[in-house]
Structures are given as C-alpha cells and as structure tokens.
Structure 1
Amino acid sequence: MRPTARLLRTDAGSDLVFTRTFKAPIDDVWASVTEPERTARWFGPWEGDAGPGRTIKVRMSFEDGAPWSDMRIEACEPPERLEVTAADEAGHWRLELRLSEDNGVTELQLIHHLTTEEGMGETGPGWEYYLDLLVAYREGTPKPDFDDYYPAQKAYFEQLR
C-alpha cells in the first residue's frame, strides 16, 4: 500500500492530511463517517448523545483488544465538517473530517492536528489503514491487512518531518 498523506505546517502547528475520494453524494459519505451502525463496519461503533460539546464513547474495533475511548465532539457541521478530540494512553488527538462534493464525487479529508511531529511513523500508517477500511467498506472490496501498512509505511511518515 502506498501512503498518501501530506504534512502541512500552519501557524497553529503541523497537520497530517489524508484524502480519499468517493463516487457518492456527500450525504452518503457523511453517514458513513457519523452513523454508528456504519462506522462499526470500518472503524468501530460509538454510543452516546452526540452533539457539539458532548462526549461519546468510541470503540476502536480494529485495535488490539478493541478498546473503548472517550471522544469529545468539538464541532459538527453536517455534511461538511466534524472535529473531535480524544485523550488516551497513546496521547492527545485532535482530528477533523472535511467533506466536499463536486458533480457527485465526494472528497474526504482527515486532518490530524498534531501536537508534535514525533511518532508520525506509527500513527500515519494507522490512519492510512483506517481510511482504506472505509474505502473497502464503501466499495464492497476485501478489507486491507494492517501488516501491509506498518512497518512498511513508517519510513515515509518519518521522512515527512
């Protein structure tokens, strides 16, 4: 698998940006990344009373032990933007999804707003993997194997620094 992410430096820090494109309306792609029965197919289910300023529980089904973690919804602007934060033993995560549609084709950007560029060699391949799980779910193709992403993509992400 080839990594696709770009590292963008902003006034606020560094952003790791991943992009996927779908031949589908924006509302359908939005549902794939926000409805718990659909997120369960590629990321994991979530539960709780969702809304800006609220915290939900998210299960990372494809991680060892399939742990549940708290995720705070910072912004939700359907069907174009979702921003969440999470803190766990792996660190503090600030993630943003941006969607846009042009002529029935929806582009999804996952932006990992980094607190540090350390560890990108470990986290970058994981986001590539999860987004390719989303692609496989939407296209009805076989799920990718994480072993094709890590450690194979580690050097790519480390050289972005």
Structure 2
Amino acid sequence: MTNAPTGRLEGNDLILSRTFRAGIEDVWASVTEPGRTARWFGQWTGEAGPGRTVKVQLAYEENNPWMEARIDACEPPNRLALSTIDEAGAWHLELLLTAVGGETELRFVHHLTTTEGVGEVGPGWEYYLDNLVAARDGRPLPDFNDYYPSMKAHFESLRGS
C-alpha cells in the first residue's frame, strides 16, 4: 500500500489533517481515552488534566518505550496541547478538532523548533494518523514501511532551499 503524504509546513509548524465521518465528541474520545488511544498510538496512564503529566507507551515503536507527556491545554472537544520529552528531545504537539456538517476535521500540529529532520518526523505522523483512521474504521493498521523512507523526500522538499 502506497500512501500520498499530506503534511505541510507553515513556518516551523508541521501540519497534517484527517477528516472523519463522525461527531466531534467521538473523535475526541479516540484521541483522549486510554483504551482508544491504545488502538492506534499507545496506552497512557496517570491522572489527566491541564498542567499534569501522564505516561504514554508507544505501542508501535521498537521496544514499546514509555514517554512522559505534559498536558499543556485540554479544551474538550476542540483542543489538546501536549509537550513530550524523550530521547528524541522535547516536542510540542496540538490536536485541533472542528465539527463541520456531520464530519470532524482533526488538525495535528507539531510545533518544531527547527525544520531540520522533518523528513524523518513527517512520515511518522502520517503513519500514526493513518493508524487512527484504520483503528476507527476497524481495518488493519498500515505498515510503517509504506511511509518511510518513501515520504522522506516530500517532507524535506517542504523546507525549501
């Protein structure tokens, strides 16, 4: 299966979107409830809330590592902002949901400090968002090898010259 990359850069923000034929509350639950995030990203534990930190297990990464995620903002069902710290560094992420006529648009924003390395980061987020789509549809999850390295050039080209 070959997927076309959808991500774009606006300044140092890497933005990817997916649209779901579902209500906003249901999509919100898919990205915030531990049992549902486990289906496409990984389980998490801890007491969630703005200013609090939860532990997230990356179920689809080698060795299923755990990382900490600080909840910077939680505005159900429209906005979730997280800061993560692991061996890859500190990442600032936002999930923005908008209801539009019976559908829900999910806009995922990775606030990068630099666009260096976007060729590695972008394909990973495409993969995870497609995992979310597949999990919601009850389909098998995609294969990461269909995303990387084939999408690397697209994301590197977004940096310009």
* TM-score, normalised with respect to structure 2: 0.96
Corresponding position of 2:102: 104
Where structure 1 has 5 or more consecutive residues not aligned to the other structure, the ranges are: none
Corresponding position of 2:74: 76
Corresponding position of 1:43: 41
Corresponding position of 1:4: 6
Aligned-residue offset at 1:87: 1.2
The whole-number CA distance in structure 2 between the counterparts of 1:141 and 1:4 is: 20
2:63 aligned counterpart, secondary structure: coil
Counterpart selection for 1:139 from 134, 137, 140: 137
Output one character per residue of 1:55-110: Cα deviation in whole Å (capped at 9) or x when no partner.
00001100000001000000000000000001111111000000000111000000
Aligned ranges for residues 1-161 of structure 1 at < 5 Å? 1-9=3-11, 14-161=12-159
Displaced runs of 4+ in structure 1, greater than 2 A? none
Aligned-residue offset at 1:140: 1.3
Output one character per residue of 1:35-63: Cα deviation in whole Å (capped at 9) or x when no partner.
00000000000000000000000011000
Aligned-residue offset at 1:142: 1.8
Count of residue pairs the alignment pairs up: 157
Q: Provide the alpha-carbon RMSD of the alignment.
A: 0.5
The whole-number CA distance in structure 2 between the counterparts of 1:88 and 1:32 is: 23
- Letter matched to residue 105 of structure 2: E
Q: Kindly, what percent of the aligned residue pairs are identical? A: 63
1:18 aligned counterpart, secondary structure: strand
The whole-number CA distance in structure 2 between the counterparts of 1:103 and 1:68 is: 37
Where structure 2 has 5 or more consecutive residues not aligned to the other structure, the ranges are: none
